Amino acid sequence: MAVDLSILLVLVQDGIVNGAIYGLLALALVIVFTVTRVILVPIGEFVAFGALTLAALETGTLPGTVWLLGILGVASAACRLWASRRHATMRSVAWQIGTSLLLPVVVAGLAWACIHWQAPQLVKVLVALAIVAPMGPYLYDVVYRPMADASVLVLLIVSVALHLALQGLGLVFFGSEGSRTQSLADTTLEIGPLFISGQSIVVVLVTLALIVALFLFFERTLMGRALRATAVNRLGAQLVAISPALCGHVAFTLAASIGALGGILISAMTTIYYDTGFLIALKGFVAAVIGGLVSYPLAAASAILIGLVESFASFHASAFKEVLVFMIIIPVLLWRSWRTPALLDEGEE
């Protein structure tokens, strides 16, 4: 079928908007992998949790994620206090209790207030983010930190297990049917044959802003440089007094926030289910792999490519869309293995 200009433009627009979401997730995956060597499979659950938590706040029900946050908070406090039992100071204990035990209580209070007084949309978005984002560092404390020195493969297996557990919890909290959230920007822009929804503009702008913010964070701040140092050489970074635990916290907080934000952004344009996140994350993962799991610009660019391939595939050969999208990874892997014949093994690092 012939593709006229208007259809082409719509497909490109659709591809870029979806690609932007994949790009966000690819960035989060790269951050977590470079800093902690964890392939964060459960990032998809943060996407679904973010979207469905916001949807629950909109319908005026207390989302189940609030309880999960509380439970994870308690577990994380226990792990942190135990890990630091030999060199605990009043200040460190207070900090740990504050961030792991008080924070979920405050957030739960906010969520309740948000439902009780019908807060504006932007406040609900922020509360939803506040509910999901701390889960990142809590999960790091409980699951990954005690085994931070395990091999990449073991960490990956743990990630898959965590993904399955969180997905099951998602089904319990939100049920099997999907939800949508209100649009953040209701206006529609009309440019020639194109109707550009306000939401898709928000998605692209937020993605761009985040990329710039991350760039500044990694280039200009001490914390960002510490993360980069850990990514380059963990032992070296530790020797110059960069705490791997702190880096892990920051990386996981970033990843959970970005994941939840991605979910919130996309949930106004599509229906999100408790298990939607995995497929979105998988496409983000493909983009991250194309970037070699280290390169941010390459990951972001390939995410846009994936979005475009997906959009055009859904027009021309919708039955084979997923196949075409995931096939992109094969030539890339071939090329990579050809470029670097000696695989970097764990032990040789």
**Interface with other proteins by CB under 8 A: which residues?**
1, 7, 10-11, 14, 17-18, 21, 168, 171, 175-180, 195, 197, 266, 269-271, 273, 275-276, 278-280, 310-316, 318-319, 321-322
Q: Toward other proteins, which CB reaches closer, 155 or 309?
A: 309
228-260 per-residue burial string, b: 16 or more CB within 10 A, e: under 16: ebbbeebeebeeeebebeebbbbbbbbbbbbbb
| CB distance 310 to 321 below 8 Å | yes
- Give the number of other CB atoms < 10 A from CB of residue 174: 24
Q: Toward other proteins, which CB reaches closer, 323 or 333?
A: 323
Distance CA 312, CA 318 (A): 9
| Sign (positive or negative) of CA dihedral 149, 155, 161, 164 | positive
Shortest distance, CB of residue 282 to other proteins, whole angstroms? 10
| CB distance 261 to 24 below 8 Å | yes
Shortest distance, CB of residue 179 to other proteins, whole angstroms? 7
Shortest distance, CB of residue 319 to other proteins, whole angstroms? 4
SS3 readout for 102-143: HHHHHHHHHHHHHHHCCCCHHHHHHHHHHHHCCHHHHHHHHH
| CA-based nearest residue to 130, from 97, 148, 107 | 107
Two tokens at 93? 């204990």
Shortest distance, CB of residue 124 to other proteins, whole angstroms? 18
Shortest distance, CB of residue 14 to other proteins, whole angstroms? 4
Q: Toward other proteins, which CB reaches closer, 18 or 99?
A: 18
Cα dihedral angle (26, 108, 73, 98), rounded to 10 degrees?
110
Q: Toward other proteins, which CB reaches closer, 44 or 134?
A: 44
The secondary element (H helix, E strand) that includes residue 194 is: strand 194-197
Q: Toward other proteins, which CB reaches closer, 107 or 280?
A: 280
| CB distance 124 to 58 below 8 Å | yes
Two tokens at 94? 């207070």
Q: Toward other proteins, which CB reaches closer, 36 or 267?
A: 267
Shortest distance, CB of residue 35 to other proteins, whole angstroms? 28
Q: Toward other proteins, which CB reaches closer, 78 or 324?
A: 324
Shortest distance, CB of residue 270 to other proteins, whole angstroms? 4
